A and B are shown apart, each in its own frame.
Chain A
Amino acid sequence: MANPKIIVVGGGLAGLSAVIKIAEAGGDVDLFSIVPVKRSHSVCAQGGINAAKNLKGEGDTTAQHLDDTVYGGDFLGNQTPIKEMCDAAPAIIDLLDRMGVPFNRTPEGLLDFRRFGGTLYHRTAFAGATTGQQLLYALDEQVRRYESEGRVTKYEHWEFLSAVLDSNRVCRGICAMNLRTMEVRTFECDALIVATGGIGAIFGKSTNSVVCTGSAQSALYQQGAYYANGEFIQVHPTSIPGEDKLRLMSESARGEGGRVWVPKQKHDKRDPRTIPDSDRFYFLEEWYPKYGNLVPRDVATRAIHKIVYENDLGIDGQPMVYLDLTHIDRHTLDRKLEGILEIYEKFVGDDPRVHPMKIFPGMHYTMGGLWIDFNQATSIPGVFAAGECEYQYHGANRLGANSLVSCIFGGFVAGPEAVKYAKGLQKSPAGSNGHFDAEKKRQEEINSRLISSDGTENPFRLWRELGDTMTRNVTVLRYNKSLQETDTKIVELLERFRKINLSDKGAWANTSFIFSRQLYNMLQLARVITQGAARRDESRGAHYKPDFPERDDAKFLKTTKAYFAPDADEPRFEWEAVDTSIIKPRPRRYDMAK
């Protein structure tokens, strides 16, 4: 057989990792991405990447990494693949190091490691506070090398619209749209890997990049792929509130000693620098003496919510608390955190080396995603998934610095698995290529309906309504009544979507048209998230229902699997057992040692 032809959609860490493995194995790759791959969202990752290299003499092991990850994820993660990831992590760091990532060093020239949330070990390798950027560039450079050798063809500024499925529902290619010429085209492949990242835009404002809409995942879900654990949404405790975006203040700020506090006195108007220690409430350190400021994110987020909304102790009555680095010396801050301090300085205007930062939780990450098996295969034959767009490695809550490693590991598994699958693939029977034309026609019809629709709704305003509702009702605290209302609201928005009026009817680089297509998919996926949350009457990891405050293993130690019912135009749900073959589930507590 000729070289297998693989399509990879998405050029973040996960997609690029897959591309490198395929090219190395002799496969040919077409790489699709909305933005030039070097501008993918992975570039935003700040704090670092986890691997139990044990270079600090603490006795860290990959078994500990596994335990922290499973425990941090409140036992919802499948343990076999998590174990494989943790075991592979040290070699992944070595590889990145060989590729030239400028990781911070110890005086002896070895890799330096910092602490991150949900662990007591120094396990996080980092390159200043722009680790994601540095990792993405290293992989991007390797892919550029393969590109110049002709192994990889990039299709940047192309958007994946759907998979092309044959009459047996086997993937034979993709349908994509050129974001400049607006041309819709199909491309053949033997296997497809989707690595399309996060879904932040469903929540309006988040820490994610603009193109993180989840549109591709949603399209595949609507074509029959299972979507798993959609209700598990990570709200990061420390983001900088903003009108257009919630900019992240990385957990590494706390990893390097940053402390979270509020004035003890309500609505204290003093300059924070003049408030003495005795008048400050370091609530995380007080409530969680063992982990202190480095409790996992869901725990820290709920604590901040409680301080602000229950105790009314937010700074000056506002929904904000202090994250304080001013006690750390300037040189250390610059060497280890400069990138993120600059973000605060640029966008807020205060120097965090001098002023305590004002922060508040913000939507950050989806633990849920396309359902995959232990080989990264989705439920559609020939479609694989890797990175934030799949659900495999983080259970009910992701630990800081575990995403980058899961993206690279997932890509490293998906690449070779896709090649293996492609080599064993039966060709479509001769003369049965009609599914390519049919899919293209289906997508073109969606386009012409949208362009010619002349109602009164503005897509960007519909989007803001979606974001507001999702943020209010489907993030930190979840009540069944408001989840129900949210689902009703999304149905209303889907209804109004049909009355969109695109002020721009142009057939060239029409960004509002492109956005509207994504918006439709966001609405469909928002229902999966919301209804999944409604069904899970317990609290686990990031999913917290005040009316059901305990974890309920008897009923809910299960993966949520949603699938699309086309006739009813809504999600249906199934449960699947979780792989707990290595560590027996136990209660998760951070106010004492595990």
Chain B
Amino acid sequence: MAEKTVKLKIKRQTGPNTESHWDEFEIPWKPGMNVISAMMDIAANPVTKDGKQTTPIAYDSNCLEEICGSCAMLINGKAKMACSALVDHFEQPITVEPLSKFPIVRDLAVDRSVLFENLKKVKAWVPVDGTYDLGSGPRITPQQQEQSYPLSNCISCTICMEVCPQFNEGTGFVGAATISQVALFNDHPTGAVLKEERLHALMGDGGIHECGFAQNCVESCPKEIPLTRSISRVAGQVMIQSIKDIFSS
């Protein structure tokens, strides 16, 4: 009997400004195999299905347990984390493509630094006075903790941005992940001191009003973060803030 195999069809591109092409691979199946481990096996023997020598595939990965957020890509057309995409769960040949809304570095590696820039814009941090010993932090009820912990689980994978119809060059929309971080830090007793600045950052172009409530984000988030709830809460805060702004100007 022929050995069980896995077929993959991978979209490749040697650099940001070169043409893309597809390479097909057929490699021995292993139990528990995921898309990243399949590509590791390809690296150890970089030969296509037709026996052509090729180069190992370039992609981002680090933790291999869906916590570092590195390995988002399109797998059979859907944005997924490749390290937790077990090949047995996908129809073959499995097509693998880079995320479509970010500049390509090479093959499946893309540049997603825009998210980190957005986090700067909304001051996604708690402004502590200093690192010297000032005693314990504010008391926080278990209920509050259970509300903020899930928001704090965002792995910056940018899948919510990839799947959002509003996230494009035209709108400059910041995307769900950033808005959800605003919700997180506005909730924090100390973080709230920057609430006004965060809300202002979400007002103009690319701000929260760009959201069209397509809900793709919440359906695709690998960490199941309640993104639409965060967006409605922050939208409410922005509204109140703009009213306040009118009266204080």
Smallest CB-CB separation from B33: which chain A residue? Answer: A243
Partner of B116, one of A38, A40, A109: A38
Q: Give min CB distance, A243 to chain B, whole Å.
A: 5
A512 / chain B contacts, CB cutoff of 8 Å: 43, 55-56
Q: Taking CB as reference atom, which chain B residue is nearest A247?
A: B65
A196 CB → nearest B CB, Å: 14
Q: From A241, which residue of chain B is reached at the shortest CB distance?
A: B32
Complex Cα spacing A380 to B116, Å: 35
In the complex, the answer to whether B67 meets A43 with C-beta atoms within 8 Å is yes
The reply to whether A44 and B128 contact each other, CB–CB distance below 8 Å, is: no
Cβ of A98 within 8 Å of any chain B Cβ, yes or no, is yes
Determine which of A97, A133, A180, A242 lies in contact with B153 in the assembled complex, contact meaning CB atoms within 8 Å: A133
| Partner of A43 from B63, B84, B191 at Cβ < 8 Å | B63
From B14, B61, B140, give the contact of A210 (CB < 8 A).
B61
Chain A 500-539 interface 0/1 with B at a Cβ cutoff of 8 Å (1 = within): 0001101011111000000000000000000000000000
- Return the chain A residue nearest B184 by Cβ: A100
Q: How far is the CB of B19 from the nearest CB of chain A, in Å?
A: 14
B125 & A21 in contact (Cβ 8 Å cutoff): no
B125 touches A145 (CB 8 A): yes
**A363 CB to nearest B CB, Å:** 14
Q: Are A244 and B40 in contact (CB under 8 A)?
A: yes
Q: Are B152 and A102 interface neighbours, CB within 8 A?
A: yes
Q: Is B119 an interface residue (CB 8 A)?
A: yes
Instruction: Say yes or no for A461: interface residue by CB 8 A criterion.
Output: yes
Cβ contact within 8 Å between B149 and A127: yes
Are A509 and B32 within 8 A (Cβ)?
no
Q: Which of B130-138, B165-173, B213-221, B229-237 contacts A (4 or more CB under 8 A)?
A: B130-138
From A98, A110, A461, B128 is in contact (CB under 8 Å) with A98
Q: Smallest Cβ distance from B100 to chain A, in angstroms?
A: 19
Could you say which of B32, B33, B45 has the most chain A C-beta atoms within 10 Å of its C-beta? B32
How many Å lie between the Cα of A210 and that of B67 in the bound state?
A: 13
Chain A residues closer than 8 Å to B125, beta-carbon distance:
100, 141-142, 144-145
Task: Report if B248 contacts A (CB, 8 A).
Answer: no
Interface hits, B51-109 → A, CB 8 Å = 53-56, 58, 60-70, 84, 86, 105-106, 109
- CB contacts (< 8 Å) of A460 on chain B: these are 40, 43-44, 56
Those of B135-155 within 8 Å (CB) of chain A = 135-142, 144-146, 148-149, 152-153, 155
Q: Which of A91, A98, A211, A243 contacts B126 (CB 8 A)?
A: A98
B185 within 8 A of A: yes
Please report the C-alpha to C-alpha distance between residue A535 and residue B127 in the assembled complex, in whole angstroms.
Answer: 51
CB of B182, distance to nearest CB on chain A (Å): 13
Is residue A306 contacting chain B, with contact meaning CB distance below 8 A? Answer: no
In whole Å, how far is A123's beta carbon from the nearest beta carbon of chain B?
16
B156 within 8 A of A: yes
Chain A residues with Cβ under 8 A from B86's Cβ? 347, 349
Chain A proximity of B66: nearest CB distance (Å) = 7
Are B127 and A509 closer than 8 Å at their CB atoms?
no
A511 touches B56 (CB 8 A): yes
A134 touches B58 (CB 8 A): no
Nearest-CB distance from A503 to chain B (Å)? 5
Q: Are A38 and B44 in contact (CB under 8 A)?
A: no
Contact B34 A244 (CB under 8 A): yes
Q: Which residues of chain A are near B34, meaning CB under 8 Å?
A: 244, 347
Among A97, A127, A503, the residue within 8 A (CB) of B56 is A503
Name the interface size band of chain B: 35 or more
Max chain B C-beta neighbours (<10 A), residue from A20, A460, A461 = A460
Please, which residues of chain B bring their CB within 8 A of the CB of A141?
119, 124-126
Q: Does A290 contact B (CB under 8 A)?
A: no
A211–B34 Cα distance when bound, in Å, is 19
- Return the chain A residue nearest B153 by Cβ: A130
Q: Is B123 an interface residue (CB 8 A)?
A: yes
Give B15's nearest chain A residue, CB to CB.
Answer: A508
Does A147 contact B120, Cβ atoms closer than 8 Å? yes
A448 contacts B by Cβ under 8 Å = no
* B31 with A244: CB separation less than 8 A: no
Query: Given the interface contacts A44-B67, A109-B141, A504-B56, does A21 sit within 8 Å of B62 by beta carbon?
Result: no
B136 & A97 in contact (Cβ 8 Å cutoff): yes
> What chain A residues lie within 8 Å of B156 (beta carbons)?
36, 38-39
Query: B37 in the interface, Cβ–Cβ < 8 Å?
Result: yes
Contact present for B153 and A142 (CB under 8 Å): no
* Bound CA–CA A508/B53 (angstroms): 19
Q: Say whether B33 contacts A133, CB under 8 Å.
A: no
Q: Which residues of A contact B33 (CB under 8 A)?
A: 243-244
One of A36, A133, A508 near B106 (C-beta < 8 A): A508
Q: A106 contacts the other chain (Cβ, under 8 Å)? A: yes
Kindly list chain A residues whose C-beta atoms are within 8 Å of the C-beta of B128.
95, 98-99, 142
Query: Does A243 contact B32, Cβ atoms closer than 8 Å?
Result: yes
* B30 interfacial contact with A, CB 8 Å: yes
Whether B116 contacts A144 by the Cβ 8 Å rule is yes
Q: Which residues of B sit under 8 angstroms from A335, Cβ to Cβ?
A: 146
Q: Does B40 contact A343, Cβ atoms closer than 8 Å?
A: no
Known contacts A94-B137, A100-B125, A242-B37; can you find 6 more A-B pairs with CB under 8 A? A41-B63, A111-B136, A133-B155, A247-B65, A335-B146, A464-B44
The 7 A-B residue pairs with the shortest CB-CB distance in the complex, in nearest-first order: A109-B139, A244-B37, A97-B137, A504-B55, A141-B125, A100-B126, A509-B106
